[in-house]
Amino acid sequence: MTPTPFPLEPTAAQAQAAIAEEFSFFGDWSERYQYLIDLGRKLPPFPEQWKTEEHRLLGCQSMVWIVPEGDAQRLDFHAVSDSAIVSGLIYLALRVYSGRPASEILATEPDYVAATGLARHLSPTRSNGHAALLAFIRDTARARQ
């Protein structure tokens, strides 16, 4: 298993609350986008050998690769994108869902998307890609439950 910094908070709900609080510190969307970019830089290294079609997330305009590991007790997700903003979105999703039991993943709606204003400020293609990422995480949790 590849080491991952997630989870940062004890529960997915606490992760979402922390994300919403962090985003509330920024006054405008240029600052929030910069914060997303900075978060994306914190993603752990992603092995080049994982950048294959098998691990490519479909539904994203940019290139995104994601690899799940684990079982119903703990699912870890490793992901990366060639887009700086998308990498930040990946970081947020992994902060909420990676390193958690499948049951917690399935019981946790991605409330941080609305709480941070991301739902209103992402382009349609980024919104679709983010939805594909969240669907992949939930589908993986459902399959491993």
Which structure tokens are listed for 7?
């989870």
Cα radius of gyration (the chain): 14
Could you give the C-alpha distances from 133 to 26, 28, 31, 57, 120, in angstroms and in order? 25, 25, 24, 7, 18
Comparing C-alpha atoms, which of 35, 23, 33 is closest to residue 112?
Answer: 23
Cα distance between residue 74 and residue 62, in whole Å: 28
DSSP-derived letter for residue 100 is: B
Q: Locate tokens 């990498």: which residue? A: 87
Strand pairing partners for 69?
Answer: 76
- Give catalytic residue positions: 60
CA distance 34 to 102: 31
